[in-house]
């Protein structure tokens, strides 16, 4: 039961971070379907940081360095989406899809090049971080507290405050609802949309490193992040683009994802003889069921996905 709670909170942390990233981007008016790719690139930056940092470094510095590296990589990768969709007015769905396809391939090439430079016989796309990964967790009895759980909670609180209690947040949401009206009162719509996409890159990048370090001490980048970016989008939609609702939805989806890691430890589940692959599929099946019943009541930002034309009214 403790292990189930541990994995539920950890996977919920991933979903909270990435879904909040999508929330900021869509509130600004840009659909970020590239969250999956941003997660991969953010995970790559964080994994390489863990790989090369000394395990003797203070835990706080290791966690901070990993967050900074993942943030920088996620933000830089999201620049591609922002430039193409905001400045060039490209189709946001196509650009996001292209970024997802590029990320896993680029990460694989980068990791293989690094491994071959260190050992010509090593052509794998795997990054190992077994020693420094220990700095990410703190044992509280039989429960392993991951510092990223705290990061996700703080991000959730800050997202609520920023969106609803600050001038920046209100202006951001105005650009996703009525960009022409926002422009008419002096708000730079392009700047606000850039800010929304870059924030999504920051949170998506951190979410990527949290995901790959959730249960293993190495990661093969050929597998990407197993569709977790799209699952985060489902959490965002189910949460109605509202931070607090997103947090609750993330706990629900995180619970079903955690079952795939610990189902064998429950006798009544093991007795059902259900293949493990079914448990792995469960969060995605649940997302389809939930969205099928709730999507008709979803209220997305009105101007999301529509390139802003300053001359149109």
Query: Which of 310, 308, 307, 312 minimizes the C-alpha distance to 95?
Result: 307
pLDDT at 113: 94
pLDDT at 268: 59
pLDDT at 156: 97
**Residue 189 region by backbone torsions, left for phi larger than 0, else alpha for psi between -120 and 50, else beta:** alpha
pLDDT at 291: 81
pLDDT at 295: 73
pLDDT at 269: 62
pLDDT at 281: 82
pLDDT at 245: 94
SS3 track for the chain:
CHHHHHHHHHHHHHHHHHHHHHHHHHHHCCCCCCHHHHHHHHHHHHHHHHHHCCCCCCHHHHHHHHHHHHHHHHHHHHHHHHHHHHHCCCCHHHHHHHHHHHHHHHHHHHHHHHHHHHCCCCCCCEEECCCHHHHHEEEECCEEEEHHHHHHHHHHHHHHHHHHHCHHHHHHHHHHHCHHHHHHCCCCHHHHHHHHHHHHHHHHHHHHHHHHCCCCCEEEHHHCCCCHHHHHHHHHHHCCCCHHHHHHHHHHHHHHHHHHHHHHHCHHHHCCCCCHHHHHHHHHHHHHHHHHHHHHHCCCCCCCCCCCCCCCC
pLDDT at 79: 97
- In this structure, are residues 41 and 73 in contact, taking their beta carbons and an 8 Å threshold? yes
pLDDT at 270: 62
Residues of the chain below pLDDT 50: none
pTM of the predicted structure, to 2 decimals: 0.94
Q: List the domain boundaries for the chain.
A: 2-225
């Amino acid at each position: 039961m403790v292990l189930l709670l541990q994995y539920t909170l950890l996977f919920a942390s991933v979903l909270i971070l990435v879904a909040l990233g999508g929330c900021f981007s869509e509130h600004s008016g840009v659909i970020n379907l590239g969250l999956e790719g941003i997660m991969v690139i953010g995970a790559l930056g964080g994994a390489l940081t863990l790989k090369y940092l000394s395990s003797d470094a203070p835990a706080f510095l290791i966690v901070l360095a990993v967050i900074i590296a993942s943030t920088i990589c996620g933000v830089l990768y999201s620049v591609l989406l922002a430039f193409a969709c905001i400045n060039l007015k490209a189709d946001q769905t196509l650009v996001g899809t292209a970024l997802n396809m590029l990320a896993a391939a680029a990460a694989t090439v980068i990791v293989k090049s690094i491994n071959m430079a260190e050992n010509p016989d090593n052509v794998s796309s795997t990054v190992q971080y077994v020693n420094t990964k220990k700095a990410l967790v703190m044992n509280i009895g039989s429960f392993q507290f991951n510092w990223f759980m705290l990061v996700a909670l703080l991000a959730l609180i800050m997202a609520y405050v920023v969106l609803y209690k600050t001038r920046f947040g209100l202006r951001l949401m105005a650009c996703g609802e009525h960009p022409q009206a926002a422009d008419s009162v002096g708000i730079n719509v392009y700047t606000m949309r850039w800010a929304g996409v870059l924030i999504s890159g920051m949170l998506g990048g951190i979410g990527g490193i949290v995901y790959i370090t959730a249960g293993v001490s190495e990661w093969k980048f050929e597998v990407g992040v197993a569709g977790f970016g799209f699952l985060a989008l489902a959490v965002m939609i189910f949460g109605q683009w509202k931070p607090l609702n997103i947090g609750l939805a993330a706990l629900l989806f995180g619970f079903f994802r955690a079952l795939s890691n610990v189902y064998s430890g429950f006798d009544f589940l093991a007795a059902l003889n259900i293949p493990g692959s079914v448990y792995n599929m469960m969060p995605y099946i649940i997302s389809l069921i939930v969205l099928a019943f709730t999507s008709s009541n979803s209220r997305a930002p009105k101007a999301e996905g529509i390139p802003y034309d300053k001359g149109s009214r």
